[in-house]
Structure formats: structure tokens, C-alpha cells
Amino acid sequence: MGCSWIGVAVPLCFAVFSVVVAINGQTLAMPPPLPTAVGVLSLAGMALLWRDISSKVKGDKRTLGSLLSQYVAVKAVGWLGRQQRKKLEADTLKVKQVQEETLLKRLRKNADTFYGRKYDFRSIEDAAGFRARHPITTYGDYREFIERIAAGEEKVIIAEQPLILAMTSGTSGPSAMLLSTKDTNTDFFLQGVTVCLEAMRQAFPESDSLQRTTKFFYTPTFRQSEAGIPIGPNSSTPSSSRHILNLYTTPAPAFEVPSEKDTLYLHLLFAVKDPSVGTLESNFASTVFYAFTALQERWQELVEDVERGTISRALTLEPKVRSRLEALMKPDAERAAQLRAHFQEGFGGIAKRLWPHLNLVLAVDSGSNQIYGEMLREHYCRGVPFYSPFYAATEGLIGVNLWPQEPDRRYLLCPRSMFCEFLPESSLDEETPQTLLMEEVKEGESYELIITNTSGLFRYRIGDIVKVTGFHNQCPIVEFQYRRGQMLNVRGEKVSEALFLGALKSAVAQWPGAQLADYSCAESGILGDSIGGSDPHYQVFIELKGVRNLTEEQRYKLDICLQKDSAVYKSFRIKGSIGPMRVQLVSEGAFKELQKKMMADTSTSANTFKMHRVLRRKEYAEFLLRKTIS
């Protein structure tokens, strides 16, 4: 491979530098010594470039164009990342000033909209004036305005036209339709992507290589609003990444396949045939986890395709798409034999055996994705570092993780992405609560985030509860705690997702042979008389590996563990105000089926789906009841 590179690059150098320039009809040749000097310098430059590139290459099946384009992209993004990090560092030294600049920029830009005139944005001079004039809002305050925009009306909330009407994942309630703009994407890329890639490069130097990434993402279904505005997720999609698809192992034709199941197979096929994969990437750890479970189920089929150079006939593909994909396949008996041996050895630590040069799993593994990250680290991806880069939502970029190697996922709030206010956890249910600003929050305290973003949300409750764990200069560092709508609360006890998961993990550790695969809860009230009993309680649905049944004593350990962790829950249990939990074991794959049902009901993309830890719809709880095996 190295020789072929030089064979292309050196003649190219001579061709470029031996050109003469014609100006006004005259041919101007370089002075005699100059061609020699330029040639020597160009050869030296190409030699240095070649040495740098070759030191970063792990595989042997890349084209020169593909490698050069990746090299240039990495260098460009690296430079941007360093500049943005310097800017972020400077901003964290003057948080109050930067936050006010960010707020006033948003207000000035949208001052001539219907909404801006309603609140007289033009006359607002500072954060105090804004907070005094504008109320705290929820989605209901924007629904009518967004419907008007969807119908084609302009300058309702924001001055520009939205790129898409972005659907939220609906984790803590019905899906909401929000605006996504060019500024939203620009902020996310500059303040988020470039900064995190630079942090990743510094923390994991091995990731600074010219290896391909396997990115598990899918082509979502968009529909059109009345005015022709696309409606769908605003996460990274194959379409939005079309200019860099050559950096991924999955070829472009695979993204024309409508079936998520078939696309996943193609992701896996082109990943396993390439032993030099450097990174596994997805928005969420859950997507990576389900990819490995599919790999475990279909490895024999995949090995046969690698061996024969075919695409499984079980996939439903358009003839043209199949033809383009098959053109990229060649029989590879040697790689197939390697794969077969790896799979027959078992799936513990399989990622590092399949891809010896695998440097990183890049995915969010905090919040509702925490259990998937833990299962990957303990089993499939044993020994591979994980990096959870962003704290972000449909509303935009919120924070960046500057500490990739730390086990706790902490995010530095981005002071130029959103204007942030903080509602103390003790004041969540007040009618007119008082908020704090970035420079006013206290370490160790928890708050609900109130944001004013670039795409038409002002003093908006996003429903996330975060804990301030410290400061970077003057800027808060936060840990995600829970979603308001994902809290168990049958008697005012308010058990958060993090609290319940901690108790569940403690209980599972006391169940011999059991490994937690997934879980959800429901408050007994949504199921009514169908489950019997009068005292309100938690209905807990658990999918386990290694165990098919639990004794009543084992089930009761979960209740005991939560009582140990929550004094409020324990007091209600002692008084009999809350009944004992009812723990249901569901069949293998039940939560994957539930995910499909939820996605179909809410138009959520596989790229943005997060499992609901507290079920708010009766039909979902009843679905899992029907999947109960013990």
C-alpha cells in the first residue's frame, strides 16, 4: 500500500510544480533555480505528509482519496476544536457577561417577530429585565405558534425559517414539535462537536488515527408540514452526514434501506469484515448494545456472507441497492475463519477481539442509557474506553464533557449555546418560582434547567433535573439526575430514576446468576383494577439474563433496597400508605418489542429513542404485563 501511495503522490507533485503560467498570452517559465527548489521542497513536504498519514493508518483497504479526505477533515476539525476550546476557556472566566450577551443576541434577532413584539424584546436591556417581563414557559405556551409556523406563517417566534420541525423523543410525556434552525446546528457543531473531538484526542491519543468508524444510525422517516417543512428528528442522520459517509464502514447504499433491522445487519456486515475499525459510535449506548445483541443472534449468517462475498437473501433490498452493495463484497475466507473462531470463543470481550485496534465507544451512556453502557463495558466491550461527549436535547446543545476518562459523566455548561436559569429542586411545584443564574448556583445542589435557546424557546422548562458538581472557573459543571416526568410518585415520595436504578442494581447483585438487561416501572394507578389490590404501589417490569424466575423473597429485596436508599419511601411503606412493589419478569426481547411499539406511536427515530423508565400510558404497561413470564 505504501508504495502505491508514493507512486501516485510523487508524479502528482512534479505535475503540479512543473506547470507554467500563461498571462496575457505570454508563457512565463520559472527562473532556472526555482523549479529545482520547489521540487525539493515539495518532495520533502510530501514525504513528511506521507510519514504522518502512514503512521495513522491501521488497515490496508483504503483508497488514497478516502485517506486524504479524512486526513484533511481531521486536521481542520482539530484546528477548529482548539480555537473553540480557547474561546470556551475565556468565556468561563466571565460567565455573567457571556450569558447576558447570549441572551440579548437572541432577543435582538427575534425582536421583530410576533412573539418579540408581544414581549417588546427590543426594549429589554439586561437579564434582569428579561426575567421580570417574560414568564417561565412550558410546551403548551408554544404549541399554537408552532402550528402557525407549520402552516407557513413567517416571523411568528423566530426571524428565520426553521430547517425542520423537530420531534422530541417523548420520554416524559407526549412528543413535542420544536423548531430547529441553522444556528442550532452551527452552535452544536462549533461549541459541541469540535470541542469534544479535541477533548477526545487529548484523552485518547490512539483515536487520532485514520481508521474508519462504525456508526450505528438510521435514515428516519420525515413527513411534511402543511407548508412543506420537514417534520422529524434533528439528530445526526445519514442524510445530514452525506459528505463524510466515506469515514464510516457502512457504505452509502445501505442507508437507502428502509428497514432498521436490515440496515443494522448491513452495519454489522461491513464492520466485521474490516478488522481495522477504530471507533464504534451512536447517539446512545442503547443503540450500540442492541447492535451487539443482533450480532450475537446473527453471527453465523454474517460469517457466511463474508466468506462467500454475498449479501444475505433474508434482507429485503431493492435490486439496484443489492447490486451496489454486492459490488463491494468479495469472498474473504481468511477473515471469515478469523471471525468464526472469535465468535465460537464467546461474546465476552468480543469487540476487542473482532477489532484489535478499537480505541473507543463514542455514545451517551448517562441518564436512561446508563444501564446499557454498564452492560457493554462488562460484557461485549470489555476493556474498551467509553466517551459520553455531550449533554444535549432536541432544544439544542447544553453541555460538553471535557473529562472523557472520568467514570462519572460530568458536563460543563456551554455559556454561549443557551441562556440558562436554574430552578431549585425544592421549588419545582411552586406557581411563581424564583430562578438562579449560572453565577448564583451552589455546588451539591440540584436544579431544573430553564433555557432560552436559539430556536424560539424563552425561559423554557425542559424538564431535566441536574446536580451542580463543581465549577470550571466560573461556569457550572453538572451531572444529569432525572427527568421530571420520569419520577415515581404515588404518595408524594418522588423517587427519581437515578434513585430507583441504584436500588435495582443493589437488588440484582443479590440475585445469583442474574444480569439486568432492561427495566421500566409503572405506578399502579394507571393499570386500575386489572392488577388488583387497593394500596398504591410500583409495578416493576424487569428483563434479566441468566435467570428465568425469582422467589418472593428475592423480589422483596428490591423493595428493601429502595427503603434503604429513600427515607421518604420507607416511611410511607412503614405506615402502609404505599404497598409493596410487584416485580414482574418479562420475556427476552420484550423491551426491544416495546421500543418498536413506542417508536411507531410517537414517530420517534431509532437515532433519538430513549426507553421510558416510568410508563405513563396504560397500553405500554399492559403490553409488558402480557410479556410476563414470572
Q: Residues 290-324: pLDDT tens digits?
A: 999 999 999 999 999 999 999 999 999 999 999 99
CB 441 within 8 A of CB 422: yes
For 396, other C-beta atoms within 10 Å of its C-beta total 27
Instruction: Give the whole-angstrom CA distance, residue 630 versus residue 623.
Output: 15
Instruction: Give the whole-angstrom CA distance, residue 320 versus residue 317.
Output: 8
Bigger pLDDT: 567 vs 172: 567
Which residues, in sequence order, are CB contacts of 395 under 8 Å at separation 6+?
A: 178, 418, 451, 453, 455, 457, 460, 462
Which among 101, 108, 136, 105 has a CA at the least distance from the CA of 421?
136
State the pLDDT confidence band at 530, using cuts at 50, 70 and 90.
low
C-alpha cell at 363: 455514545
Task: Report the greatest alpha carbon distance in the chain.
Answer: 100
Least trusted range by pLDDT, from 182-191, 264-273, 296-305, 483-492:
483-492
Tell me the residue type at 101.
E
Residue ranges of alpha helices (H) inside 493-551 are: 497-508
State the pLDDT confidence band at 71, using cuts at 50, 70 and 90.
confident
Q: Which residues pair with 279 in a beta bridge?
A: 213, 360
State the pLDDT confidence band at 13, using cuts at 50, 70 and 90.
very low
Q: Is 585 left (phi over 0), alpha (psi -120 to 50) or beta?
A: beta
CB 485 within 8 A of CB 614: yes
Q: What are phi and psi of 291, to 5 degrees?
A: -65, -40
From residue 476, give the alpha-carbon distance in Å to each of 24, 337, 387.
62, 52, 20
Question: pTM of this prediction?
Answer: 0.83
Which DSSP category does 110 fall into? T
Which among 267, 210, 269 has a CA at the least distance from the CA of 238?
267
State the pLDDT confidence band at 18, using cuts at 50, 70 and 90.
very low
Instruction: Give the whole-angstrom CA distance, residue 271 versus residue 60.
Output: 15
Residue ranges of alpha helices (H) inside 525-604 are: 552-565, 567-575, 590-602
Which among 589, 517, 506, 519 has a CA at the least distance from the CA of 554?
506
- Check whether 564 has a pLDDT greater than 80: yes
Note the pLDDT of residue 45: 60
Note the pLDDT of residue 162: 94
Q: What is the dihedral of CA 7, 9, 11, 17, to 10 degrees?
A: -170
Instruction: Give the whole-angstrom CA distance, residue 281 versus residue 267.
Output: 11
C-alpha cell at 34: 526555482
* 3 state DSSP class of 519: strand
Mean pLDDT across the chain, nearest whole number? Answer: 87
The kind and range of the H/E element at 56 are helix 33-56
Q: What are phi and psi of 412, to 5 degrees?
A: -80, 125
- Check whether 12 has a pLDDT greater than 60: no
Q: What is the dihedral of CA 239, 365, 181, 169, to 10 degrees?
A: 90
Least trusted range by pLDDT, from 23-27, 33-37, 513-517:
23-27
Instruction: Give the whole-angstrom CA distance, residue 623 versus residue 628.
Output: 9
Least trusted range by pLDDT, from 102-106, 204-208, 522-526, 570-574:
204-208
From residue 157, give the alpha-carbon distance in Å to each of 60, 70, 114, 134, 541.
52, 39, 6, 14, 42
Average pLDDT over every residue of 171-181: 78
* Percentage of the residues of the chain whose pLDDT score is greater than 90: 70
Instruction: Give the whole-angstrom CA distance, residue 284 versus residue 267.
Output: 16
State the pLDDT confidence band at 233, using cuts at 50, 70 and 90.
confident
From residue 43, give the alpha-carbon distance in Å to each of 16, 29, 33, 112.
12, 20, 16, 58
State the pLDDT confidence band at 31, using cuts at 50, 70 and 90.
very low
* 3 state DSSP class of 177: strand
Instruction: Give the whole-angstrom CA distance, residue 389 versus residue 258.
Output: 29
State the pLDDT confidence band at 218, using cuts at 50, 70 and 90.
confident
Average pLDDT over every residue of 543-571: 94
Which among 367, 360, 411 has a CA at the least distance from the CA of 389?
411
CB 107 within 8 A of CB 121: yes
Average pLDDT over every residue of 538-554: 93
Average pLDDT over every residue of 349-368: 94
Most confidently modeled range among 101-110, 483-492, 594-603: 101-110
Which among 411, 450, 404, 408 has a CA at the least distance from the CA of 427?
450
Q: What is the residue whose three cell numbers read 438487561?
A: 517
CB 466 within 8 A of CB 453: no
Average pLDDT over every residue of 222-238: 85
Note the pLDDT of residue 569: 94
- Check whether 169 has a pLDDT greater than 80: no
Q: What are phi and psi of 446, to 5 degrees?
A: -110, 145
Which residues, in sequence order, are CB contacts of 410 under 8 Å at separation 6+?
A: 401, 403, 469, 470, 477, 478, 479
Which residues, in sequence order, are CB contacts of 80 under 8 Å at separation 6+?
A: 190, 194
Note the pLDDT of residue 42: 60
- Check whether 81 has a pLDDT greater than 80: yes
Which residues, in sequence order, are CB contacts of 74 under 8 Å at separation 6+?
A: 208, 210
User: What's the distance, CA 478 to chain centroid?
Assistant: 17
- Check whether 2 has a pLDDT greater than 70: no
CB 380 within 8 A of CB 361: no
Average pLDDT over every residue of 23-27: 36
